Structure 1
Amino acid sequence: MTSINVLGLPTSVKDTLIKASLDTVEDLLLYTPPGLSNDIPSARYKRQQVAKGVSSGGYDRLVNLTPSEFAFAYDQAAAHIFENKIAYGSAHDLLQDESWLSLGDPVLDAAVGGKGIMTRTITEIAGESAVGKTQLCLQLCLTVQLPESMGGLDGSVVWLSTEGKFPYNRLESMISQFVEKHRDDVPDMDADIIRENIYYDSMADQETQLHIFNYQLPILVHDTYLNQEDDDDKEENQEEEQPSVLRKKPIKLIIIDSITNNFRSELTVGNSAPDQAGNQGSKAGFRSSILQRSADICEIGLRLRTLADQYGLAVVCVNQVTDVIAADSTFHPPPLSFRPLLQTRDFPPAFYETGKMKKPALGLVWENTINARLVLQRTRLPDPYETDGYAQSASREPPRTLSVVFAPWSGHNRSSDPSQPGHCWYKIDETGVVGISTSNY
C-alpha cells in the first residue's frame, strides 16, 4: 500500500482525500474513477467505503472537489503505478513478493511444500473432531509473531470463533513452551507481548458473522497498519536510552474457527404441509435458504481474499466434515495404517476417517473460494503396526496424518505412503502439533 503523500497533489486536494479515507494510491484508483465526481456521494460508493470504516462525513468533504481535481489526482495515481511497475511484473517477481508462514514444525512444513502456507491466500484445515485443527491454529497464532527469518511474519493474529469460548488455557500452556523454545533466538520475546498480539471475537450467528467480515474486520486490519506506521515514526524520534514500549504488530493472520458452524446451525427448511401445495412451498423455502447460504459464502470469501491480497496476510479457515453416502455399501477401507485420500464420483475428493467416508462441508461453492485444503485425520493402527516400538510407547494413541488435498505451492498425491510429498504423521503434545518423521514408523 502506497501513501498518496508520494503524489504531487495540492495540499487541499490531498487533505480532502485523506479525510475521506482515500489515503493510499491503490484506494484512489479503486474508489475514485474519473466519472465518480458526477454522482458523489452515490449509494455504491458509500457501500464500498463503509467496508473500509469511513464515516459518513468523509463523503461530504469529497463533494467540494471539482471534476478536474478528481481527474488530476486519478492521473497522478495511475502514473505512479505505471512508472514504478507496481501493477505488473514477471511471474518470478510476483513469487518473490510472496511470504510464507511456517506451521511451527519442519516435518509439517515439508509436507505442505517446504515453507508452510502462503500469504495472500485462504487455506482450509478440515477434519473430524479431536484431530487437532484448533491445536494447529493455536500454534499458528504463536508462529506468526516470529521474525520472517524464522518462518513467521512478525505480525499479530485475529481469531474469529463460531464454536464457543476461546481455548485460553491451552494457549497459555503453549505460550510458556513457545517462549522457552525461542528464548535464545528471540531474546526480547515476552508472554505479555504474545497475548497482546492475539485479537479475539465471537460470531454467534450469521448476521454477526457477516457484520464482522464486512465492517469490523477491515477496520481492525487497516488500523493496525496505520498504528504500525505511527509507532515506527515515534521510535525514530526516541532517544536510544528510552525503553521501548509494548508495541502491537500489524495483523498478518486471520483464523476462523470454524467457517462451517453458523451455516450448519442456521440452515432452515420451510414448514412442511400435508397437501401438495404445502410440500411445494417447503421445497421452495429450502432452495431459497440454500441459495442464500451460497451467496453469503461467496461474500465472505470475497471479503477474506480482498483483505489477504490487499495487506499481504494469510487466512486460515477451519472446516468441519460431513458423511458421504456411497453407492456401494459393501466397500470397505483398505487395512492400511495410513488411509489415503480417495477420489470418488462426488466432488470434492472424499477421505476415510475412523472407518467412515467423509468430505469437507459447505460443498462446491466454498471449494471454489479457497486456495488450499489440508485434511487432518485420526486413524486406528491395525494389529500388524501395533507391534512397532513407537506404537507401544504411545500408549495406543491413534496416529494422526496431515494430507494436502490441493495447494498451488505444494505437491500432493493419492498414494498411501506418508513419506511422499503432501503427507506426514504428527502428534499432539504439551508444545503443540509436532510432526513425526517416517523413520519412527
Structure 2
Amino acid sequence: MACAHRSLVRLPLDVYTGLISEERSHDTPCSPEELRRQMCAKLKKFASPHYKNNTRGNNYFESVTTVGHLLTRTTPWTLLKILDPLLTMEEVQLFLHRVAKVCCPPPQTALELLQQSQQHANAKYLPTGWTALDNCLRGGIRIGSLTEFCGRAGAGKTQLAMQLCVTAAARCGQGTVYLDTEQKLSLTRLQEIVQHQHGNGQLRKRPRTHEYDDGTTTNMEPTTVAEQQQQVLDNVTVLSPTTMPDLMTALLQIEELVLDAQHDNSNKLPIGLVIVDSIAAPAKRGAESAPERAAALFQCAQRLKQMADQLQLAILVVNQVALERSSFGGGVRVKAALGTSWRHCVSTRIMMEQQQQLEAQPQQQSGSPFVRETARTATIVKSNLVGLQSVKYQIVGAGVVDAVEPPVARIPVVEP
C-alpha cells in the first residue's frame, strides 16, 4: 500500500531502530524515539525546490514532512547533507530502504490477488442494518468504493449515516470517522439509536477478538450493555471541516488515524468506515468560480477513491439534490447536486425521497377529516452490480427500517 501522504513522524519505530551502527551507537547513544524526533526536525527545516505551475511560473520551496516528499524530492546525497552528522551514507540508504519497504506495496501476481479476494469474499460489504436495502445491495455498503446517499432535507440521510456508525462498531467491530461539514450531527440522536438497537437485541453480543500486525490479539467484546453502548460511541471519531481545503486536510488525517489504529494495541477498534456529511457544504464555500469548484471536487473524489481502495474502507458520502427541468414534457426532476463532474465519481448512488400523502379517512382523536402520512422511498439509481430497485422505509427510534404496510380493512360479506 503506497502511503505518499503519510507523515514521517507517524512512521513506526522499527524504521529507526538499529539505524545507527553499533560502533557509532557507543559514541552517540540515541533511542529510536529521539532519533526519529531529530531526523524529522532536520527534514522539516530543509526546504526543497519544487516547481509550481502557476501564472508566473516561479519556484517555491517546500519542507520534507511526508513519505512522498522524502522519496520523490530528495536523493541519498541530499539526505546525507541534511542529516549529517546523525547518519552516514550507508545508514541513509538503509533508512530509505526501510521507508520504501513499509510504505510501498510489494509486487503480486494475479493468482495471489485472486486468492486474497476469495479469502475476503465475505468481508466486502458493510451492512447498514436496513434489511431491505442490504438485500438490494447484496450485503450492504461496498468496501473499497464510494457510496452516495442523496435526497432532500429531512429524507433521513443523516439518520442512516448514524445508523451505519452503530452497525459498523457493534456488528463488524470497526470504527468510524465522521466528517461533519455542516455541524448538524446530533450526538443525542446517535446515543438514542445505540440504546434502541441494544434494547431490541439487534447488536451482536458474541465474543470478538482483533488481531494486530505484531501478532497480538485483544478481546473487543464488552461485558455489560452500558460498556457496549460506550464502546460504540467511543469508536466514532468526529471531524468538522468547513471548506474544501479543510476537507482535504482531514482526509490526510484520516489516513494517519487508520494506520495508527492498525498498530495500536488499545481497545480502539480498527477504522473501517468513513462518512462525509455532506459533500455539498464545503464545495460551495470558498470556490471563486465553477471550474475551480469542479477541480476541487475531482481532487476530493480521487482522494476518497484512493483511500477506499488502498485502505479497504467503506466510504459513504451524503449529498444534497438539485432540480432541473426535464426536456420531455417540461416537468421538473430531482438529481444529485454538484454537477456532472461529481455525478460520475461515485460507484453507487441511492436517492432517498419522501412524499406526503393525504388519506381520506377521518381521524378519531382530533376529528380532522384527513390523516397526513409520509411515504418514503429509497431508489438505487446508479450501481455497477445491481439494477434499478426501490424499497420503502420509515424512520423509528432504532434508525431507518423497512416500512410497515398498513393493514387492509376487509368488508364482511353478508349473504342474502
- Establish whether TM, by shorter chain, passes 0.5: yes
Aligned to 2:382: 406
Matched, 1:12 2:49: no
Larger proportion of strand: 2
60-69 or 100-109, larger mean C-alpha shift = 60-69
Gaps of 5+ in 2: 3-10, 22-30, 38-45, 51-61, 207-221, 363-369, 409-416
3-state SS of paired residue (2:380): strand
Aligned to 1:344: none
Q: What is the Cα deviation at residue 94 of structure 1?
A: 2.5
Q: What is the Cα deviation at residue 157 of structure 1?
A: 0.6
Task: Please list the CA deviations of residues 123-147 of structure 1 after superposition, one character each: whole Å capped at 9, or x if unmatched.
Answer: 1111111110000001001000134
- Distance in 1 (CA, whole Å) between partners of 2:298 and 2:133 is 30
Matched, 1:107 2:132: yes
Aligned to 2:390: 423
Q: What is the Cα deviation at residue 181 of structure 1?
A: 2.7
- Distance in 2 (CA, whole Å) between partners of 1:165 and 1:78 is 36
Q: What is the Cα deviation at residue 76 of structure 1?
A: 7.4
Aligned pairs for 1:14-413 (under 5 A) are 46=64, 48-49=66-67, 64-66=88-90, 69=94, 81-82=106-107, 85=108, 89=112, 91=114, 93-94=116-117, 96-97=119-120, 98-113=123-138, 115-147=139-171, 152=172, 154-182=173-201, 185-186=204-205, 188=222, 190-214=228-252, 216-227=253-264, 230-231=265-266, 247-268=267-288, 289-328=289-328, 330-331=330-331, 356-381=332-357, 396-409=372-385, 411-413=386-388
3-state SS of paired residue (1:12): coil
Aligned to 1:29: none
Question: What is the letter of the counterpart of residue 402 of structure 2?
Answer: G
Q: Cα distance 1:77–1:120, how it changes in 2: closer, same or farther (>3 A)?
A: same
Q: What is the Cα deviation at residue 318 of structure 1?
A: 0.2
Q: Cα distance 1:68–1:194, how it changes in 2: closer, same or farther (>3 A)?
A: closer
3-state SS of paired residue (2:169): coil
- Distance in 2 (CA, whole Å) between partners of 1:202 and 1:71 is 35
Question: What is the letter of the counterpart of residue 363 of structure 1?
Answer: G
CA RMSD of aligned residues (A): 4.3
Gaps of 5+ in 1: 22-38, 232-246, 269-288, 332-355, 388-393, 414-421
Q: Cα distance 1:41–1:146, how it changes in 2: closer, same or farther (>3 A)?
A: farther
- Distance in 2 (CA, whole Å) between partners of 1:206 and 1:75 is 30
| TM-score, normalised via structure 1 length | 0.63
Question: What is the letter of the counterpart of residue 433 of structure 1?
Answer: V
Question: What is the letter of the counterpart of residue 258 of structure 1?
Answer: S
Larger proportion of helix: 1
Q: Cα distance 1:163–1:298, how it changes in 2: closer, same or farther (>3 A)?
A: same
- Distance in 2 (CA, whole Å) between partners of 1:75 and 1:212 is 24
In the alignment, is the contact (CA less than 8 A) between 1:425 and 1:438 conserved in 2? no
Question: What is the letter of the counterpart of residue 191 of structure 1?
Answer: Q
Q: What is the Cα deviation at residue 326 of structure 1?
A: 2.6
Q: Cα distance 1:429–1:300, how it changes in 2: closer, same or farther (>3 A)?
A: same
In the alignment, is the contact (CA less than 8 A) between 1:224 and 1:249 conserved in 2? yes
- Distance in 1 (CA, whole Å) between partners of 2:392 and 2:407 is 10
Q: What is the Cα deviation at residue 186 of structure 1?
A: 0.8
3-state SS of paired residue (1:134): helix
Count of aligned pairs between the two proteins:
331
3-state SS of paired residue (2:373): coil
In the alignment, is the contact (CA less than 8 A) between 2:126 and 2:142 conserved in 1? yes
Question: What is the letter of the counterpart of residue 108 of structure 1?
Answer: L
- Distance in 2 (CA, whole Å) between partners of 1:437 and 1:92 is 42
3-state SS of paired residue (1:254): strand
- Distance in 1 (CA, whole Å) between partners of 2:194 and 2:134 is 20
In the alignment, is the contact (CA less than 8 A) between 2:351 and 2:378 conserved in 1? yes
Q: What is the Cα deviation at residue 292 of structure 1?
A: 1.4
- Distance in 2 (CA, whole Å) between partners of 1:395 and 1:206 is 44
3-state SS of paired residue (1:298): helix
- Distance in 2 (CA, whole Å) between partners of 1:73 and 1:248 is 27
| TM-score, normalised via structure 2 length | 0.66
Greater relative CO, 1 or 2 (CA 8 Å, sep 6+) = 1
Q: What is the Cα deviation at residue 119 of structure 1?
A: 0.9
State the structure with more CA Rg.
2
